[in-house]
A and B are shown apart, each in its own frame.
Chain A
Amino acid sequence: MEKNKWKLLCMVLGSAMMFSMAGCSVQNSENVVTTAASAVTTEKRADMQATDNQEPQERGELIFWDKSEYVEGYNTMMKAKVDAFAQEHNVDVNYVIIPAADMKQKLLAAIEAGNAPDLIVGDDTLVGQFVSMNQIADCADVFAAIDFTDNAKILGTFNGKEFLVPLAFMAPGMYLRMDKWLETGMDIPKTWEDLRKGAQIINDPANGFYGMGFAMGASGGGDAEGFCRTIILDWGGIPVDENGHVTVNSPETLEALKFIADLYEDGLIPPDAITGDDSWNNSAYLAGTVGVICNSGSVVSSMKAENPELLENTQIIAYPAGPKGTAYTLGGANVFGVFETGKNTETAKEFIKYYFADLDNYNNMIEAMGAMWQPVVKGVDDTEFWKNPVNAGWLANSKSTYKTYYPAPSDERATVSFTNQLCVKAVQEIVVNKTDPQEALNQLEAEFNKIYK
C-alpha cells in the first residue's frame, strides 16, 4: 500500500517536472515547429516570460488576423505576401489564422481588452458589425489608391463612408444535380415554379433523397437569410426600401413567405434544414441527399477535394426568376477591416495597397480559390481562367450580385437585421409553430421596426 501511494506521487511529480522542463525547451523551439500553412513569423508579444528582444532600429509592427479558408492555398499565399511586405517595409508582422467559429468572440474579447488586431479579413456582414461599434477606420485613402470595380466600391461603402476594403467577391451560385434533373425530363429551370415542379418529381424521402436543400436554420449564418431575402425580392417584396422605410408587410412578401413554407411542408426540403447552420446545406449536397442548393463556391472546392464524381454530376445554373420575372442574386464579399483602435492603422493600410499592387499574385490567389473568389479590382477579368465556361458563370454572378440586404441603405441597421435572421425566423414561425402566415409577417414587421425605429 505504501508502494502505491509513492507510485502515485512519483508519477505525478515526475510527470510535472518532465513536462515543465520539456515545456521550456519546446517553447524555445516553438517557432520552429510549424507548417507552411500557418507559421507565425515573430511572436513579439508572446508570453509572460517575454524576453526582451527589441530590435535596435525602429521597426513597424502589424497584427493581422486572417480568415481561415478551406482552401489552404489561400492562407499560404497570403502569408507569403505578408512575409514579403515585412521584409520590404521593415515591419514585424504577426500573422495568425483564426477559424470562422472563433473570430467574432476573439475579436470582441480583444476589443474589450484593448488589444485588438490591426488588420482582419472577414466577410462583409461580420466586419460591418464592427463598423457600428466604431472600431473600423475610414479607408477612403485606400480606395483612392486602388482601382476597384464599381460593384466593389458599392460593397465597401457603409454609413456613407468607405470602411470595408473588398478583397474578393463571394458570388452565390445554384448547384443542380444534373443526373437527377435529367430524370425529370424538364429543361433547366428558368423560374422557381419550374424548379419546384422538377424537385417534386425527383423527391424521394423514403430513400433519403430530397429535391431541394435550401438552408433554413437560424443558427447565426448567412445562407438561410440570403435565401429568404432572394425569394422575397423575386416575388416583388421589399423588406426595407432605399430610404430606410420598413415595407416588408406587403402581399408580395406574404406570397413569398408562403412559397418557402410550402416547400418545407411539402417535404421537398429535409426537415433538419431548420436547425442547420451554414454548413448544413454543404453537407447535405456533398452527401448526395439533396438535388439543389444555393451557395458560394465553397462547395466546388469541397467536391474537388472529396467527391469529384459529384462535381461531374453538378451544373451551376443561373438563378431562376420569380413570378415578376426578376431573378436576384444576393451575395457578399471577403473584406479587409482596418482597426482604428489598433496601434498600426497606417501600416495596415500600407499592406492593403501593397497587396493589390501585385495583380499577378492576386490573380494566382483567385485561381487557387477556384469558384469561391471573384475579382474586385479591374484588370483581372480577361484571363483564360474566366474564359472557361465552368468559371464564367461565377464571374457573371459577381457582377450582378446585390448586397444581401438590398435595397436597404448600407448601415448597421441593415447588417443587424440580416445577422439576426429576421426573415428566416418568420418562416420558422410558420412551419414550426404553425403560425398564420399573415400573423408571422406582422411579427416580422414589428421586429424590423424595432431595429429601424
Chain B
Amino acid sequence: MVRTKRKRIINSVLTYGILGLALIWTIFPIYWMVKSSLSLNSEMYVARPNLFSKVITFDHYIDLFFNTTFLHSIWNSLIVASITTVICLTIGVLGAYAMTRLSYPGRNLFRSSIIVSYLMPTAVLFVPMYVFISSLGFYDSKYALLIIYPTFVVPYCCYMLISYFKAIPYALEEAALIDGCNRLQTLWYIVIPIALPGIAVVATFAFTMAWNEYLYAMIMTTSNAQKTATVAISAFKFADSAIWGRIMSASVVCSLPVTILYIAAQSLLISGKYEGSVK
C-alpha cells in the first residue's frame, strides 16, 4: 500500500513510542525479579533500594539447583502441563468444530453451559473437588491433576476455538464437502491450517494455565517427588521468614519454559493464509 512518507513516519514514531512504553511497563517488574535473584542477600531488601546492584551473584541459582529438588518439580510441571495441553487441545478442537459446523440436538445448550466450570471460585471449590478426586483413589499424585486441569482448560479451549473457527468463512468447507470430503477431512485439511495462528495461541495459553496453576497442585501433591514448580516455590516460604534468594531464582526458572514455548509459537503466527483461496 502506498502511503505518504509523512504518514509513515508519524505511524512509525507512534508505534515504536507506544511499544517502547509498553516494553518498560512490562519489563520493569521482571527486571526487578531477575535482579533480585542475582543480588547478594545483604542487598536483597534494603531501605530505599537502587535500580542497579553493584555486585552480581549466581549463588542463589547454584543453591537452588544443588540443594533443593526444584528441578524435579520443573520436570513434574512439564509433564502435567504438556499432557494437559495435548488432551485439552484435542478435545477442544474437535468439540469447537462440532459446536460451530455441525448441527445436532442440544448444540446451543452445550455451547452456553460449558461456562459452568467457572462459576465457583477455586478457593473454596477445591475442598469438595479433593474429596471427590481422592475417592477415585488419588493421593499425593500429580496425575490427579491431569483429571482436574481439563475442567478449566477445556472450556477455555472450546470457547476460544469456537470464535476462531467462526471467523473462517464456511464457503471453503462447503466446496470440499461437495467434492466428497467428509467432515473430519475438512477439519484436518482446511479448517485447521487456516486457524493455525488461533490454535497456536490457544495451545500456548492452555499450557500456561496448566503450568501456572497453584491451588489444585498444592492440594493434590504432598511429597517432593510429586510437587509441581509453583508448589515448590511456595515451599521456600515459612511461617514468618522466607528464603528470598531461592524464591526469586525459582521464579525466574519457573518462567523460562513458558517463555521458550512462546518464542517457538511465534513461528506459527503467519498472516493471510488463505489469500485467494475463496476465488
Flag if B47 contacts A207 (CB, 8 Å): yes
Q: Does B268 contact A (CB under 8 A)?
A: yes
Flag if A99 contacts B238 (CB, 8 Å): yes
Partner of B83, one of A16, A106, A307: A16
Q: Does A352 contact B (CB under 8 A)?
A: no
Flag if A4 contacts B270 (CB, 8 Å): yes
Residues of chain A lying within 8 A (CB to CB) of residue B144? 47-48
Q: Does A19 contact B (CB under 8 A)?
A: yes
- Inter-chain CA distance A16–B89, complex, in Å, is 12
Partner of A19, one of B46, B79, B234: B79
- Inter-chain CA distance A286–B273, complex, in Å, is 58
Flag if B72 contacts A33 (CB, 8 Å): yes
Known: A8-B268, A109-B219, A307-B42. A102 touches B134 (CB 8 A): no
Residue of A nearest to B203 (CB): A12
Q: Does B98 contact A (CB under 8 A)?
A: no
Q: Does B69 contact A (CB under 8 A)?
A: yes
Q: Does B127 contact A (CB under 8 A)?
A: yes
Flag if A295 contacts B240 (CB, 8 Å): yes
Flag if A1 contacts B223 (CB, 8 Å): no
Q: Which of A297-322 contact B (CB under 8 A)?
A: 298-299, 301-302, 305-307, 309
Report the count of interface residues on B (CB-CB < 8 A).
62
Q: Which of B22-76 contact A (CB under 8 A)?
A: 41-42, 44-48, 67-69, 72, 75
- Inter-chain CA distance A37–B273, complex, in Å, is 55
- Inter-chain CA distance A67–B226, complex, in Å, is 18
Stretch among B107-115, B167-175, B192-200 lining the A interface = B192-200
Flag if A68 contacts B235 (CB, 8 Å): yes
Residue of B nearest to A100 (CB): B239
Q: Does B152 contact A (CB under 8 A)?
A: no
Residues of chain A lying within 8 A (CB to CB) of residue B137? 48, 50
Residue of A nearest to B41 (CB): A306
For the complex formed, measure the closest distance between the CB of B252 and the CB atoms of chain A, giving whole angstroms.
Answer: 19
- Inter-chain CA distance A281–B89, complex, in Å, is 46
- Most chain-A CB neighbours within 10 Å: which of B75, B127, B223, B267? B223
Residues of chain A lying within 8 A (CB to CB) of residue B243? 70
Flag if A40 contacts B224 (CB, 8 Å): yes
- Most chain-B CB neighbours within 10 Å: which of A12, A38, A99, A286? A99
Flag if B222 contacts A98 (CB, 8 Å): yes
Q: Does A431 contact B (CB under 8 A)?
A: no
Residue of B nearest to A123 (CB): B239
Partner of B134, one of A13, A46, A113, A282: A113
Known: A33-B69, A112-B131, A306-B42. A46 touches B240 (CB 8 A): no
Flag if B140 contacts A46 (CB, 8 Å): yes
Residues of chain A lying within 8 A (CB to CB) of residue B47? 207-209, 287-289
Flag if B143 contacts A48 (CB, 8 Å): yes
Q: Which of A403-451 contact B (CB under 8 A)?
A: none
- Interface bracket on A: 35 or more
Residues of chain A lying within 8 A (CB to CB) of residue B219? 105-106, 109
Residues of chain B lying within 8 A (CB to CB) of residue A19? 78-79, 82-83
Flag if A1 contacts B273 (CB, 8 Å): yes
For the complex formed, measure the closest distance between the CB of B92 and the CB atoms of chain A, giving whole angstroms.
Answer: 13
Q: Does A132 contact B (CB under 8 A)?
A: no
For the complex formed, measure the closest distance between the CB of A337 and the CB atoms of chain B, giving whole angstroms.
Answer: 16
Flag if B225 contacts A278 (CB, 8 Å): no
Flag if B240 contacts A31 (CB, 8 Å): no
Residue of A nearest to B224 (CB): A38
Interface string of B237-277 (1 = CB under 8 A from A): 11111110000000000000000000010011010010000
Q: Does B205 contact A (CB under 8 A)?
A: no
Residues of chain A lying within 8 A (CB to CB) of residue B225? 30-31, 33-34, 40, 43
Q: Does A242 contact B (CB under 8 A)?
A: no
Residue of B nearest to A11 (CB): B264
Flag if A278 contacts B239 (CB, 8 Å): yes
Flag if B223 contacts A43 (CB, 8 Å): yes
Known: A20-B83, A100-B237, A112-B130. A283 touches B270 (CB 8 A): no
Q: Does A60 contact B (CB under 8 A)?
A: no
Known: A38-B224, A106-B222, A278-B240. A15 touches B45 (CB 8 A): no
Flag if B218 contacts A282 (CB, 8 Å): no
- Inter-chain CA distance A288–B78, complex, in Å, is 40
Residues of chain B lying within 8 A (CB to CB) of residue A123? 239
26 examples of A-B residue contacts, CB within 8 angstroms: A4-B196, A19-B79, A33-B69, A35-B224, A38-B69, A38-B224, A40-B225, A47-B143, A48-B138, A48-B143, A96-B224, A100-B238, A101-B237, A102-B231, A106-B218, A109-B126, A112-B127, A278-B239, A279-B241, A287-B46, A288-B47, A301-B241, A302-B241, A306-B41, A307-B42, A309-B42
15 extra A-B contacts, CB within 8 A, seeds A13-B86, A279-B240 = A5-B193, A8-B200, A11-B264, A12-B85, A30-B226, A35-B67, A43-B140, A48-B143, A94-B223, A97-B235, A99-B234, A112-B131, A207-B48, A296-B240, A306-B44
* 4 nearest A-B pairs in the assembled complex, by CB-CB distance: A208-B47, A47-B141, A287-B45, A306-B41
